[in-house]
Amino acid sequence: MFQNNPLLTQLKKHLHAKTPRVEGIVKSTERGFGFLEVDLQKSYFIPPKNMKNVMHGDKIIALLKIEKDREIVEPEKLIEPFLNRFVGKIEKKDNRLFIIPDHPFLKDLIMCQFNNNCVNIFNNGDWAIAQLTKHKLKGDHFFCAELIEKITQKNDPLIPWLVTLARYNLSRKEPLSEKNDLILKEHDDRKDLTDLDFITIDNINTKDIDDALFVDEKINGEIVLTVAIADPTAYIKYGSKLDISASKRAFTNYLPGFNIPMLPRHLSEDICSLKPNERRPALACHINILKDGRISDKIHFFLAWIKSKEKLSYDHVSDWIEKTGQWKPSTKSIEKQILILHRLCLLRIKWRKINAVLFKDSLEYRFHLSENGHIIDVVIEKRRIAHKIIEESMIIANISAANFLSKNLGFGIYNIHTGFDFINAENAVSFLKSYNLNFSTEEITSLKGFCNLRRVLNILSNNYIDSRIRRFQSFGDFSTTPGPHFALGFAEYATWTSPIRKYSDMINHRLLKSIIKKEKPIKPSEDIKLIISEQRRRNRMAERDISDWLYAILLQQKKYQNKKFNAEITDISRSGIRARLIENGANVFIPGIFIHPIRNELNFNKELGKVFINGIMHYKISDLIQVTLSDVRLETRNIIAKPHF
């Protein structure tokens, strides 16, 4: 009787149209149900039957309904799928291919479009890049993906590197070079400095050496620093195939165990590298450092030929300065260079301590890998005096380049850091007051005031306060016009000292050369600035993900199962604590259940960075605690720990 009744159909449409709708992001759980997160405060339950039509991370519109006195949502429309291009592991069943996305909350098999070639190419456990082609919320009966590219086969020891690079769409190989790329293109007059005792200081295994130093001390106590930087732009023409390739890569990608160069290794590790006793073209700069540590206005950029007299290592130079170990300089002239550079370093550190911002020494962790990529151990490395010598010299050079570009052109690629925006500055001031540290918003949003704040925090040496203030700070960025770098404490800063490894430095090289040669400069576009920023972000995420993967492999070993680790709390999330193992740098997660068994008595306050149990603070960011490992999940690269009471 009611079948095909137009009035009933109209009524249904009317009721459907009046049903409230919400928009948000799907968040899955390990138990099969999920939530639609509308904002940071509000989320709605998605029943398991409805979760079958969506994936974690999908942006959707859903119908808001009441079911058994509870608000639930029913997915209605897909706005943006979480999966588009993705990486995953192949599973072969009955001569059909399926792929499991490499994501902790995406565990279901996705059918692959049938293709005879793919069936022959792929085997169980292989890794691939895929493209999602069908989605249930689009009216398709099932999720489906097209296989685009095989990454590698099962059991390849390089899986962590190759899969992660593919995930972030980063190059997995060095760029190809042609014969013409290895020929010097520029034949300008260059000052011959090959007789000077230039030295390089790097890690013992470094091949892409891009900076060499020579120092001379005047009778009046001033130090003249000559910085010579490798000159790849003398080989690579602007707009050439290799230049375009470098602009897309933007950086040499330094990963645990190896690097993927921005330029062909023939150039970066041989022809352009400032190897000892090899005549090399360079872009150079004379800089006078006054007795009080200030950089004088006497800055002179020029083209040169240099010949490094010796490749020194950080550890050897540090050992000799600290009077430990057996190594010593091979000649008196090399010894003199090290001694003057050491004095220059201490002079600049003293100046920066009063006038800018000093970095706190921190531990660095380096993976020790076998030749075929298997992890052996993690080595702790500290910043030693030789690292600081090079660091201070490069900072001097980059300040000088920024000033030179600003005076002569007014543009370049500048490294900027804006300190605090106004809202975060107000929050920071309010937080500091609770610790009897009185600053004004106007003060800490000025370069001078920001530097003063950082100096006060360094003296205070309270890691909790420091971590909270850093949370309010902005992130570093690039700019095509001059701007301050609050985190360093300088009015302007532009790097040019690593052109083999950074495309932004190649851009600044060309601009510096245009001033020297009185040629028309090519102003960098906003697009190239955005490409460099994005590539830096993806490189950092890839490095982090590979490290997490290697830590999961390492900590699966039996010797770590019942071991007590000292750890530092680094973050407080909604459901637990994140900490770093001090022994090896691994990041671990401590779920709430391991902290206190009654969930509603627990309060994880992310804003304060503290954990409260029944209103009493028990943990905070920067606390040192002891933990043992509970579970190491290789498939998700999650390391679960529990506090050792």
DSSP state string for 496-548: -S-TTTBHHHHHHHHHHHHHHTT----PPPHHHHHHHHHHHHHHHHHHHHHHH
Which residue in 58, 102, 197, 202 is the catalytic one? 202
Query: How far is 180 from 638, CA to CA, in rounded Å?
Result: 47
Question: How does the average pLDDT of the chain come out, rounded?
Answer: 92
At residue 85, the pLDDT reads: 94
| Mean pLDDT of all residues in 85-96 | 91
Domain coordinates of the chain in residue numbers?
Answer: 16-80, 85-156, 185-416+484-545, 422-474, 556-643
At residue 116, the pLDDT reads: 66
Query: How far is 37 from 45, CA to CA, in rounded Å?
Result: 9
Closest CA relative to residue 471, chosen from 427, 418, 416: 427
Among the listed ranges 202-206, 272-276, 307-311, 396-400, which one has the minimum average pLDDT value? 202-206
Count CA within 13 A, CB hemisphere, residue 585.
19
Query: Mind listing the pLDDT tens digit for each residue in 587-598?
Result: 999 999 999 998
Q: Known catalytic residue: 314?
A: yes
DSSP state string for 416-460: EB----HHHHHHHHHHHHTTT----HHHHTSHHHHHHHHHHHHHH
Among the listed ranges 147-161, 359-373, 414-428, 437-451, which one has the minimum average pLDDT value? 359-373
Query: Mind listing the pLDDT tens digit for each residue in 51-69?
Result: 989 999 999 999 988 877 7
| The two domains 16-80 and 556-643 share their CATH topology (first three levels equal) | yes
- The class of domain 16-80 in CATH terms is mainly beta
pTM attached to this predicted model = 0.91
Query: Mind listing the pLDDT tens digit for each residue in 243-283?
Result: 999 999 999 999 998 899 999 999 999 999 999 999 999 99
Query: How far is 238 from 233, CA to CA, in rounded Å?
Result: 8
pLDDT at 40 over 50: yes
Q: Report helix, strand or coil for 471.
A: helix
Q: Known catalytic residue: 197?
A: no
At residue 48, the pLDDT reads: 86
Q: Known catalytic residue: 192?
A: no
Percent of the chain with pLDDT over 90: 76
Which residue in 454, 455, 468, 501 is the catalytic one? 501
pLDDT at 436 over 60: yes
Which residue in 44, 235, 314, 365 is the catalytic one? 314
Count CA within 13 A, CB hemisphere, residue 194.
11
Query: How far is 405 from 515, CA to CA, in rounded Å?
Result: 8
At residue 39, the pLDDT reads: 81
Question: CB atoms < 10 A from the CB of 526, how many?
Answer: 10
Query: Mind listing the pLDDT tens digit for each residue in 107-130?
Result: 889 999 877 667 778 889 999 999
Query: How far is 523 from 526, CA to CA, in rounded Å?
Result: 10
Query: Mind listing the pLDDT tens digit for each residue in 281-317?
Result: 999 999 999 999 999 988 999 999 999 999 999 999 9
| Mean pLDDT of all residues in 477-482 | 96
Query: How far is 443 from 425, CA to CA, in rounded Å?
Result: 9
Query: Mind listing the pLDDT tens digit for each residue in 332-373?
Result: 999 999 999 999 999 999 999 999 998 888 889 999 998 888
Q: Known catalytic residue: 195?
A: no
Helix axes 503-516, 526-555, angle to 10 degrees: 140
Burial class (CB in 10 A: 0-12, 13-18, 19+), 507: buried
- The class of domain 85-156 in CATH terms is mainly beta
Q: Known catalytic residue: 208?
A: yes
Which residue in 126, 210, 231, 545 is the catalytic one? 210
Which residue in 208, 231, 243, 548 is the catalytic one? 208
Q: Known catalytic residue: 140?
A: no
At residue 132, the pLDDT reads: 94
Question: Which CATH architecture is the domain 556-643 placed in?
Answer: Beta Barrel (2.40)
pLDDT at 15 over 70: no
Query: How far is 370 from 342, CA to CA, in rounded Å?
Result: 35
At residue 281, the pLDDT reads: 97
| Mean pLDDT of all residues in 225-253 | 96
Closest CA relative to residue 501, chosen from 146, 230, 294, 227: 230
Nearest-5° angle of CA 295, CA 296, CA 299?
100
Which residue in 126, 211, 231, 319 is the catalytic one? 211
Confidence grade of residue 239 (pLDDT, cut at 50, 70, 90)? very high
At residue 17, the pLDDT reads: 55
